[in-house]
Amino acid sequence: MKRNSKTSVAVITGVSSGLGRALAQCFHHNGFRVVGISRSQPDIDLDLWVCADVTNPEDRARAVRETEAFAGSVDVLINNAGKGLYDTWEESSMEELKALFELNFFAVAGMTQAFLPLLKRSRGTVINISSAAGRIWVFCMGAYCASKAAVSMFSNSLRGEVARYGVRVLDVSPGQINTGFSSRSFGHRSPPDSPGRSAGPEDFAKAVYRAWKRGRKSMTYPGWLGAALFAVRYFVPGIYNHFSLKMWGLK
C-alpha cells in the first residue's frame, strides 16, 4: 500500500464545502497533492482545482485528463459529493429522486469507472462517502437512505472485483456532522433537531485518513455509532419508529 508521500495524489469531489473541504485539507496536511473537484471554487489551497459537475460524463472525462496531465497518476479517489432530500416518498417528485440518485450514486459509479485505470496503475484506493443513513431507515429521508445504501453496496461489491489489481475500497458511513448539510439539501420539509452533539468535519477527515492508512475496508463515524445502529435495527425498531415518527410530525 502506498503511504503518504510528497508524490501521492488524492482526488476529492465536493471540495468547496463540508466534508470534502475538510478531507482536502487533511490529506494535503499529510503530504498529498490534492486535486479538488467541485462546481464552486473552494476557499482553500489546492494543488489543482477542476471546475466540474460530477454528474456530467464529459466533465468526469475532462477531470481525468486534467488530473493525469497534472500528476500522471492517482493514489486515492474520494467520492464525497452528495446532497440530501427531506420529503416523504409521497411528496418526492420523480425529478427530485432522479437528481438525487444522479449525484449520490451514479456520479460515484461514474467517477470510479473514469479514474479506475489510473488507480490500477498506482494500486490505489477508492474511498466512497456513504452515510449512516444508508444503514437504517430515516423517515422523510427515505430516498437519501436508499441512495447511500446503494453507495455501500457498490463499494462492497467493487472491492472484490478490483482486488486482483491491487486496488482497495474503503466504505465510509458518517453520522451527524456539523457541515451545514441540511441547508444545502432540497425537499419540502425541515429536519427536526436531532439528539446528541454533531461531530466536527475536521475530526471526521482525520478518522478517514487513519482508516486509509490502516487499510480498513469500512468505517462508521463516530465509532460507537455502528453498535447503536445494530441495536436499533435488531432490538428496538418499534421504539425507534415511535419516536422518529413523532419527531417528523407523522404521528
* Tally of domains in the chain: 1
**Is 157 annotated as catalytic?**
no
Q: What is the three-class DSSP state of 80?
A: coil
Give the CATH number for residue 67. Answer: 3.40.50.720
144, 209, 221, 240: the active-site residue: 144
Q: Does position 180 have pLDDT exceeding 80, yes or no?
A: no
Candidates 147, 148, 173, 244; catalytic one:
148
Run of H or E residues at 181: helix 181-184
Structural domain boundaries enclosing 102: 9-247
> Which pLDDT tens digit goes with each residue over 120-140?
999 999 999 999 999 999 999
40 annotated active-site: no
Between 222 and 251, name the one with better pLDDT. 222
2 part of a folded domain: no
Among 8, 38, 92, 130, the active-site one is: 130
Model pLDDT, residue 60:
98
CA distance 139 to 22: 28
Residue 226 lies in a domain: yes
Q: Cell 472525462 maps to which residue?
A: 61
pLDDT computed for residue 4 by the predictor = 46
pLDDT cut 90: percent of the chain above it: 87
| Residue 4 within any structural domain of the chain | no
3 falls within a domain: no
Residue 95 lies in a domain: yes
Closest to 177 (Cα-Cα) out of 132, 216, 244: 132
Active site residue 155: no
**Catalytic-residue membership of 221:** no
Name the catalytic one among 16, 92, 147, 155.
Answer: 16
pLDDT of residue 1: 42
| Biggest CA-to-CA distance, the chain | 56
Q: Which residues contact 82 (CB under 8 A, 6 or more apart)?
A: 14, 103, 104, 129, 131, 147, 148
Q: Which of 12-16, 63-67, 190-194 has the lowest mean pLDDT?
A: 190-194
Rounded to whole angstroms, the Cα distance separating 226 from 153 reads 17
| 167 assigned to some structural domain | yes
Give the pLDDT confidence score for residue 54 in this predicted structure.
98
187: confidence class by pLDDT, cuts 50, 70, 90: confident
Confidence of residue 2 (pLDDT cuts 50, 70, 90): very low
Nearest Cα to Cα of residue 75 among 217, 220, 209? 209
Predicted local distance difference test score (pLDDT) of residue 6? 55
1 within domain boundaries: no
